Amino acid sequence: MPTSEKNEFSHGSVGVVYTQSIQFDSLTLEGGETITPLEIAYETYGTLNEKKDNAILVCHALSGDAHAAGFHEGDKRPGWWDFYIGPGKAFDTNRYFIISSNVVGGCKGSSGPLTTNSKTGKPFQSTFPFVSIGDMVNAQEKLISYFGIHKLFAVAGGSMGGMQALQWSVAYPDRLKNCIVMASSSEHSAQQIAFNEVGRQAILSDPNWNQGLYTQENRPSKGLALARMMGHITYLSDEMMREKFGRKPPKGNIQSTDFAVGSYLIYQGESFVDRFDANSYIYVTKALDHFSLGTGKELTKVLAKVRCRFLVVAYTSDWLYPPYQSEEIVKSLEVNAVPVSFVELNNPAGHDSFLLPSEQQDSILRDFLSSTDEGVFL
């Protein structure tokens, strides 16, 4: 069973890791179309035990990928959730076998717009079929079954990753013991859809868009950068932006912006273009917007089928996925007598709080995973 390599990295690091790829015959999408073959890029950390009951699936957010922890050779920065995954950390690789995969529709190794269409010999680009959160989870289920895992110890994720975790609990209620949903929602509000639509329109308005059939030399880079700038504004809180930037002028060249926050956003947009694909941005944000388990009585009815414990985490400063959306999930679980722990953290970082290092958050995750309730839903 593949695991991460051990090396001389600091205590708590899983060291050098490699993204792997596996191919399945096909995946039938919820819309009726079929992806043939299905490619899934993934990484693992830790060791799967003989009973195969110590596996945790970690699901990434919009711009994430399979690289959740450790270092790729030559990289100076670790995976996106490295603070929480490793020996002695919340997701303790001495105890758990952690799996992280790139979502279908993404651009980091799994089947998506950059995948070559066997019929044309060219990348699918905008001809790739629509992908839902459900499709992402169904692809992950194939990977989990490949490892011979019948029941995951936990599925965890924040933002879009939280939606995937929720979908797992509904689509495969007997396949997971614990579910961790952070900074997420059971469906997007009109405001959340509006933010994503502005980002998509920025890409569609780029002169290089070409109906999504652009070349790598002439990508809609400006539109994608603007989409990222718009999205990044929603990830931070007013308090965080005020403390970090205030009304300070930018350093160096001031021709393009009058304020430091503008310079920061421009940098975020330009750097994002180097690591993400515009078509994938459109596909993934549409998957987010179309995801819906319902609200109120509808959500309560859908969650009646779940068979796992829940930890739901919200953040007071998160105005993109405000706490009331997490509370609605919690209320629907409580109506169904599903064991659920709810924590609202007063972290000033906004929506990005779930991604950032936090000893308090580490402790909450660690305590939830370490606690047992053998009499419930086993």
Kindly list the catalytic residues. 159, 318, 351
Are 159 and 61 in contact by the 8 Å Cβ rule? The answer is yes
Can you tell me the distance from the alpha carbon of 184 to that of 138, in angstroms, rounded to the nearest whole number? 20
Question: Which residue in this structure is represented by tokens 């700038």?
Answer: 229
The amino acid sitting at 224 is L
Asked if residues 349 and 237 have their Cβ atoms less than 8 Å apart, the reply is yes
Q: Is 75 annotated as a binding-site member?
A: no
Measured at the CA of 285, the angle between CA 282 and CA 289, to 5 degrees, comes to 130
- The answer, yes or no, to whether the previous bond of 173 is cis (omega within 30 of 0) is no
Taking the C-alpha atoms of residue 81 and residue 126, their distance in angstroms, rounded to an integer, is 30
366 has binding-site annotation: no
Using CB atoms within 10 Å of the CB of residue 25, give its burial: 0 to 12 exposed, 13 to 18 middle, 19+ buried. Answer: exposed
d(CA 169, CA 150): 14
Q: Which residues are annotated as a binding site for substrate?
A: 228, 352
| Residue list for the binding site | 228, 352
